[in-house]
């Protein structure tokens, strides 16, 4: 619901003040409001568990006679302050929202009946010595609560009306104490905070002070771990952040080495996991075959140990042991199977031949024709390579089956 300020109201608005605190008119005289120059910080802070800022017990050592609850025994001003404090302790910001709800008539509402006694948000702010924006934040909080049936609508409230107010801990579900809460960014932060089960005001406070967040991450391992988890979750849906993080890691030698080391560990664990989950194994030469029962059993044993490791435990040593153990069994299984052994050697030969071919194809004859690059050693190496290739060809021809 959008509430517009009365455009016809020309009452000047004082400069907006810091977010902490709010004005506290006397509870015994609800219609009275402080003058334009009255300080605003007379009340309790807006934030705090249950809507009330924590205070120390200042009367723990007082005499018994000082604990009298009879108003006649104390100064009336003290009694009024105590009652105001009690109202706020029970209701939090609702006590102040009621003062706004029963006294403010926003622009567009006709000044008829009881509403004729009400004033615009701008005029109310001028009387209170605060900004119209702050008044409207209280107004909007009441409006949302009224839509939920938690408090009465504005129209039924007259100046000075008293009603039973909701508990203090409900207030922060409706009140946005910061202007950023109404922005697109603020709404996204508030929604994420609610999804995590925390108060939106806390998340907004952190977002508005990145330096404080950085200090907490640098000083506290728990905060750093929470930040790490949040960044990983965000990177899943933010390609730009993925790129920035990858670039930052690539430019930092220590991080680059750490990533390479962890990638090696992940590859080894993946090798073992594939045997367990797919029942297949990759041989040293690179061919994929069905895993023998002994290899699968060993892989399952090591994988169960790896899965039981806590996040704080180093998996590198365990992964290395699992990989070497399973790899050794695979190599032995290949050697013990004649057909598999032949296929493994054939695969290894083809792999080496493919690499050698690719390397030789990268040599350019244009460079060979230039006198400046010639070296006697080049010719000797090529002649030796030619002799080795000739011997290899002769051996293959000899091993070839006779033509029928």
Q: Phi/psi at 74 (nearest 5 deg)? A: -135, 165
pTM of the model as a whole? 0.41
The distance from CA 163 to its chain's CA centroid, rounded to whole angstroms, is 41
Buried (b) or exposed (e) across 239-264, using 16+ Cβ within 10 A? Answer: eeeeeebeeeeeeeeeeeeeeeeeee
The two three-digit tokens of residue 286, written as one number: 């690179």
**123 with 33: CB under 8 angstroms?**
no
Beta pairing partners, 104: 119
Closest-CA residue to 202 (of 215, 214, 213, 217): 213
pLDDT, one tens digit per residue, over 44-60 is 344 443 333 444 444 44
Closest-CA residue to 91 (of 166, 145, 147, 148): 166
More confident residue, 222 or 84: 222
pLDDT, one tens digit per residue, over 146-193 is 988 999 998 888 888 899 988 887 887 777 655 555 566 777 877 787
The two three-digit tokens of residue 61, written as one number: 């050592």
**203 with 180: CB under 8 angstroms?**
no
More confident residue, 375 or 249: 249
- The DSSP H or E segment spanning 289 is strand 288-290
Report percent pLDDT > 70 for the chain.
Answer: 74
Does 133 score more than 60 pLDDT? yes
Does 205 score more than 60 pLDDT? yes
pLDDT, one tens digit per residue, over 260-308 is 988 998 888 888 888 888 888 888 887 788 888 888 888 888 888 887 8
Question: Which residue do the tokens 């008539």 mark?
Answer: 105
DSSP 19: S
Q: List Cα–Cα distances, 86 to 49, 52, 56, 98, 123, in angstroms.
A: 15, 10, 16, 15, 28
Least confident of 29-43, 116-130, 186-200: 29-43
Does 209 score more than 60 pLDDT? yes
Total Cβ atoms within 10 A of residue 161: 14
Mean pLDDT calculated for residue range 68-91: 78
- The DSSP H or E segment spanning 234 is helix 221-235
**From the DSSP assignment, how many helices (H) and strands (E) are in the chain?**
15, 2
Closest-CA residue to 134 (of 47, 13, 25): 13
Total Cβ atoms within 10 A of residue 163: 12
Q: Which long-range contacts (CB under 8 A, 24 or more apart) does 184-189 make?
A: none
Q: What is the dihedral of CA 104, 110, 113, 117, to 10 degrees?
A: 30
Question: Three-state SS for 34?
Answer: coil
- Cα separation, 160 vs 239, whole angstroms: 56
Report percent pLDDT > 90 for the chain.
Answer: 9
pLDDT band at 100; cut points 50, 70, 90: very high
**103 with 114: CB under 8 angstroms?**
no
Does 37 score more than 50 pLDDT? no
pLDDT on residue 19 = 40
- Cα separation, 157 vs 162, whole angstroms: 9
pLDDT, one tens digit per residue, over 304-315 is 888 787 766 677
């Amino acid at each position: 619901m959008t509430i517009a300020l009365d455009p016809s109201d020309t009452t000047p608005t004082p400069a907006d003040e810091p977010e902490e605190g709010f004005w506290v008119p006397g509870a015994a005289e609800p219609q009275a409001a402080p003058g334009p120059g009255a300080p605003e910080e007379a009340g309790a802070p807006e934030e705090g568990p249950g809507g009330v800022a924590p205070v120390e017990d200042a009367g723990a050592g007082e005499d018994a006679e000082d604990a009298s609850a009879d108003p006649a025994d104390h100064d009336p001003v003290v009694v009024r302050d105590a009652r105001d404090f009690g109202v706020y302790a029970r209701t939090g910001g609702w006590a102040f929202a009621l003062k706004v709800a029963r006294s403010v008539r926003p622009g567009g509402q006709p000044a008829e009946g009881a509403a004729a006694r009400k004033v615009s948000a701008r005029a109310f702010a001028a009387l209170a010595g605060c900004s119209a924006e702050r008044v409207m934040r209280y107004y909007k909080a009441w409006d949302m609560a009224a839509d939920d049936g938690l408090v009465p609508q504005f129209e039924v409230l007259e100046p000075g009306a008293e009603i039973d107010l909701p508990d203090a801990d409900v207030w922060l579900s409706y009140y946005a104490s910061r202007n950023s809460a109404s922005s697109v960014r603020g709404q996204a932060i508030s929604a994420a905070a609610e999804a995590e089960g925390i108060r939106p005001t806390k998340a907004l406070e952190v977002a508005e002070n990145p330096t404080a967040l950085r200090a907490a991450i640098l000083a506290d391992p728990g905060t750093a771990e929470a930040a790490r988890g949040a960044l990983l979750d965000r990177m899943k849906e933010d390609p730009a952040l993925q790129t920035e993080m990858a670039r930052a890691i690539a430019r930092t030698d220590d991080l680059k080495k750490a990533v390479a080391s962890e990638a090696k560990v992940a590859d080894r664990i993946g090798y073992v996991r594939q045997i367990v989950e797919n029942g297949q194994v990759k041989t040293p030469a690179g061919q994929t075959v069905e895993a023998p029962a002994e290899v699968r059993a060993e892989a399952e044993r090591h994988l169960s140990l790896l899965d039981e490791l806590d996040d704080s435990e180093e998996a590198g040593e365990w992964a290395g042991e699992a990989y070497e153990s399973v790899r050794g069994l695979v190599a032995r299984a290949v050697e013990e199977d004649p057909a598999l052994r032949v296929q493994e050697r054939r695969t290894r030969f083809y792999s080496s031949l493919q690499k050698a071919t690719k390397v030789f194809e990268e040599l350019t004859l244009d460079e060979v024709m230039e006198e400046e690059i010639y070296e006697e050693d080049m010719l000797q190496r090529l002649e030796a390579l030619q002799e080795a290739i000739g011997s290899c060809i002769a051996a293959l021809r000899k091993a070839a089956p006779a033509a029928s």
